[in-house]
Structure 1
Amino acid sequence: MSTARLQNTVAEYGLRRLLAYGAGVLLAIAVAYGAIFPNTAAGDLLRVALSESTLGAALRLAVPIVCAALGGIFAEKSGVINIGLEGLLIISAFTGVYVADAVGSLAFLPGIWVGFFAGVLASTLLSLLFAVVCLEYRADQIIAGLAVWLIALGLAPFVSQVAYGSVNTDSVGTLGTWTIPVLSELPFVGSVLFDASPVVYIMLFAVAGSWYVLNRTSFGRHVRASGENPKALDTAGVNVTRTRYVAVALSGVLSGIGGAGLSLGQVGLFIGNGQTMVNGRGFIAIVAYLFGNYNPLGAFGAGVLFAGLDALQLRLQQIPAYAVPSSLVQTIPYITVIIVLALVGRTRIPSAAGEHYESGED
C-alpha cells in the first residue's frame, strides 16, 4: 500500500470515528435532556423508549434479525457469503404457518410446534441447495444468494394463493408466552425477560451457543480457518468443503428459527403482500452482523437496536400529541441502518470469503 493511500485510509478511519463519537455525544445529550426535563418532547420520547412494552417488543422483533445474523456469521466466517438470508426467512415463515395449519393438533405435540420445526427444516433444505450450487458447481455466491431470495419471494405467496386463495394465509395462532414464576414478578425486567415468547428464549440461547461454538470449540476454529486460510485448514487434514457445508446448513437452521419465530411467534399467519411480512429483515441482519464485526454478541446488540427502533416507531405513531407524519416515523429504523452503514466503516470480512476452494480430499 502506498504512503498516500495509507494516509487516506487513516484519515477516512479517523473521520468515521469522529462522526461516530459525535453521534454518541448527541444521543447522550438528548437522553440527559429528556431525563432532566420529563415534560418535554425529549422526555416523552425517552419514556416511550424505556417502557416495558417497548423493550419487550424490541426483543420479539429482534428474533428474525438476530437469528438470521447469527446464520450469516457462520456462513461468511466459513468463506461463503450468504446474502439469501431474506429468502430463508420468507420460506421458513410461510412453511411454518402452512404446516401448522395442515397438521392441526397432534396427540403429543401441538401442531404449531410441528409447523415451527417444519419451517426450520424448509430453511435448512433451501440453504443446502444454495450450498450445493456454490460449493459443487462453483456458482457466484452473490448471484446464488439473490436467487434464493427471489425464489422464496415468488414461491411462498404463490403457494399461499393456491392453498388459501390469497397471498395471506389463514391465522393459526401463535406460540404464546412462557412465564417463569417468581422472576416474572421482578420490577421492570420481569415482564421483559421472563414473560416472553418462547422464540425470545430460543434466540438468547442461540446467541450464547453461537458465541461458544465459534470461540470455544474445534468446529468453531475450523469455521474461522475455512474463511481465513482454507489451504492451511486443508493441510491440517480438515475437509474445507464439508466444513462450509455444515456452516451454511447452520445458517439455514438459525434463519429458519428467525422466520418461523416471526410468523408463529408474533403474528400467527403469513403475510405475502409486497416484500412479504419479512420486509427486509434478512438484509438488515447482514448489516447487524457487519456492525457487530462477526461477533454473535455484537450482532445481537445491533439486532436489538434496529428492532428497538422499529418498536419505537410503532409506539410513536400512537402518540397524537406531535404532528409528525406516520410515514416519516416509519422511516426511523431504515434511516438508522443507513447511518450505521456510513459510520461502521470498512468491516474486515474473512480473507477467503466468496472464494471457491477445491479441497485436497475431494
Structure 2
Amino acid sequence: MRKPDRGTLMAALGGLAAVVVALGVVFPGSVAGELLGIASRPIMAEIALRLAVPITLAALGGIFAEKSGVINIGLEGLLIISSFTAVLVAWALGGTTSAALWTGFAGGVLASVLLAGLFAVVCIKYEADQIIAGLAVWLVALGLAPFASSVVFGGKNTTSINRFSEWTVPVLHDAFVNSGVGILSYVGHVLLRANPIVYLMFGAVAVSWYVLNHTAFGRWVEASGENPNALDTAGVNVHRVRYVSVLVSGLLSGMGGAALSVGHVGSFVGNGTTMIDGKGFIAIATYLFGNYNPLGTFGAAMLFSGLESLQIGIQQFTPYEVPSQLIQVIPYVTVVVVLVLVGRTRIPEAAGEYYESGDDR
C-alpha cells in the first residue's frame, strides 16, 4: 500500500486539529474543550518554543552534516557535552551575571565544535564508519559529562546557576498586550517577550535556510552529498566542504545544548540519559520528516515540542486521573507514527560513504 506523502499527512493532521478545535468551541465542557483551553494558553506556546530550541538547533546541524555526505548520529552527544560545559564555565565565572552566562554559552558551543571536529577527522581522514563513530561520540559524552560533574560538583547533577532573562521588544510588547485584540495580545505574550534562546532559534532557522538554498556554500554542501566527484571535478575540495559542514553541525548543536542548560534549565542533570533525554535522536527524526529543509524541520520540531508542552498542561490543568507515564509518552509515540506513515526519506546519494578527494590522491 502506498504511504501518504508529507503534504497529505500534514493536511490530515491539520484537519484533525480543526475538528478538535471545533468540538472544543461548541462543547466547552467536553474533553476537547478542556484541551483547547489548555492549548490556547500563552504559557503553553512559550513552553513549546523553549522545548523546541535544542531539537531544532541540533536538527539544523544534522542537516548540514548529512547533506554534505557525513551522517552525524552523534547529535545527542554534542548536546550533552555542550549543555554540561556551558554550566561548568558559567559556574566557574560565578553563574549569576549575564556575562558569565553568555561566556558559559560560548564555552558549551566550543566544546561541541571540538568534539564534532574530532568526529570529522575520524570519519573523513581515517575513513571510520560514520554510524559507529557517531555512537562513540554519544557514548563518550554520556559517560564524560556525568563523570566530570561528579568530580567538580560531587554528583551527576551540577549546582544550579542563573538562567537567561527574557528579552522584551520595546514599545511593541506593551502595545500588543494592551491592544484588547485577542490574537495581538497572544502574539505579544508569546513572541514579543521571550527567552533569548527562542530568538536565537528563529535566527538559526532563517540563516540555515538561506545558506543552504541561496549561497555557493549551500550548493557545495548538496553536491558533496549527492555527487562529490562532480564537485571535485569543478575544483572544490570535497573534504573541506565536509569538514566545515560537520563543524557547523557542532556549532548549531552546541548552541542547542548550551541554550537548554544556561538558557532554560539553569543546571545540568546527568542522571540516567541526562537532561538531553533523547533530544538528539528526536532531532534526527525531525530533519528526516522535514526532508532536510530547515523550515520543514522547524515545523516538525514544533509538532513534537507542542505535544510535549500539551502533556505538561494536561498534568497541571486537568483533574483526570491519567498515569503521568502514559501522558509523557504521547510526543514520542507521535514521532514514531509520523515517521511510519510518511515512510522513508531519500537520504543524499553519497551519505555515509568515504570519498577520496582528488587533492589527496
The answer to whether the superposition gives a TM-score over 0.5 is: yes
Deviation per CA, 1:244-288, whole angstroms, max 9, x where unpaired? 000000000000000000001111000001100000000000011
| 80, 103, 107: which one aligns with 1:114 | 103
Q: Tell me if 1:357 matches 2:355.
A: yes
Q: Tell me if 1:159 matches 2:148.
A: yes
Question: 1: CA distance between counterparts of 2:100 and 2:44?
Answer: 30
| 230, 233, 238: which one aligns with 2:231 | 233
Deviation per CA, 1:85-134, whole angstroms, max 9, x where unpaired? 00000000000000101122799x71111100000000000000000000
Question: 1: CA distance between counterparts of 2:86 and 2:57?
Answer: 16
Matched with 2:92 is 102
Q: Tell me if 1:168 matches 2:157.
A: yes
Question: 2: CA distance between counterparts of 1:191 and 1:182?
Answer: 13
- Summarize the Cα distance change of 1:106–1:361 in structure 2 as closer, same or farther, 3 Å threshold: farther
Give the conservation status (yes or no) of the 8 Å contact 1:234–1:360: yes
Question: 2: CA distance between counterparts of 1:320 and 1:230?
Answer: 55
Deviation per CA, 1:315-340, whole angstroms, max 9, x where unpaired? 11113422211111111111111111
Report the TM-score when normalising by structure 1: 0.93
Question: 1: CA distance between counterparts of 2:274 and 2:5?
Answer: 38
Which deviates more, 237-246 or 304-313?
304-313
Residue-pair matches, total: 351
Matched with 1:264 is 262
Question: 2: CA distance between counterparts of 1:160 and 1:103?
Answer: 16
Q: Given residue 102 of structure 2, which amino acid in structure 1 is its aligned partner?
A: W
Question: 2: CA distance between counterparts of 1:333 and 1:106?
Answer: 34
Shift of 1:36: 2.0
Matched with 1:83 is 73
Q: Tell me if 1:286 matches 2:306.
A: no
- Summarize the Cα distance change of 1:59–1:105 in structure 2 as closer, same or farther, 3 Å threshold: closer
Matched with 1:180 is 169
Q: Given residue 300 of structure 2, which amino acid in structure 1 is its aligned partner?
A: A
Matched with 1:335 is 333
Which deviates more, 35-44 or 224-233?
35-44
Give the conservation status (yes or no) of the 8 Å contact 1:16–1:345: no
Shift of 1:361: 1.3
Matched with 2:197 is 199
Shift of 1:21: 5.8
Q: Given residue 298 of structure 2, which amino acid in structure 1 is its aligned partner?
A: F
Matched with 1:72 is 62
Gaps of 5+ in 1: 1-10
Report the TM-score when normalising by structure 2: 0.94
- Summarize the Cα distance change of 1:217–1:177 in structure 2 as closer, same or farther, 3 Å threshold: same
Give the conservation status (yes or no) of the 8 Å contact 2:83–2:260: yes
Give the conservation status (yes or no) of the 8 Å contact 2:58–2:75: yes
Question: 1: CA distance between counterparts of 2:355 and 2:141?
Answer: 28
Deviation per CA, 1:36-79, whole angstroms, max 9, x where unpaired? 22221101101211210000111111000000000000000000
Give the conservation status (yes or no) of the 8 Å contact 2:73–2:284: yes
Give the conservation status (yes or no) of the 8 Å contact 2:209–2:293: yes
Give the conservation status (yes or no) of the 8 Å contact 2:3–2:342: no
Give the conservation status (yes or no) of the 8 Å contact 2:111–2:254: yes
Matched with 1:147 is 136
Give the conservation status (yes or no) of the 8 Å contact 1:222–1:243: yes
Shift of 1:177: 0.8
Question: 1: CA distance between counterparts of 2:23 and 2:346?
Answer: 36
Question: 2: CA distance between counterparts of 1:114 and 1:330?
Answer: 34
Which deviates more, 41-50 or 59-68?
41-50
Shift of 1:19: 7.0
Shift of 1:343: 1.4
Matched with 1:60 is 50
Shift of 1:18: 7.2
Gaps of 5+ in 2: 177-184
Give the conservation status (yes or no) of the 8 Å contact 1:74–1:223: yes
Give the conservation status (yes or no) of the 8 Å contact 1:87–1:148: yes
Shift of 1:182: 2.1
Q: Given residue 78 of structure 1, which amino acid in structure 2 is its aligned partner?
A: S
| 270, 273, 281: which one aligns with 2:271 | 273
Q: CA RMSD in A?
A: 1.8
Give the conservation status (yes or no) of the 8 Å contact 1:123–1:252: yes
Shift of 1:33: 1.1
Which deviates more, 201-210 or 339-348?
339-348
Shift of 1:344: 1.7
Question: 1: CA distance between counterparts of 2:18 and 2:357?
Answer: 51
Give the conservation status (yes or no) of the 8 Å contact 1:33–1:42: yes
SS of residue matched to 1:90? helix
Matched with 2:304 is 306
Give the conservation status (yes or no) of the 8 Å contact 1:20–1:343: no
Question: 1: CA distance between counterparts of 2:203 and 2:10?
Answer: 31
Question: 2: CA distance between counterparts of 1:105 and 1:350?
Answer: 43
Question: 2: CA distance between counterparts of 1:105 and 1:264?
Answer: 9
Shift of 1:13: 3.0
SS of residue matched to 1:188? helix
Question: 1: CA distance between counterparts of 2:22 and 2:164?
Answer: 39
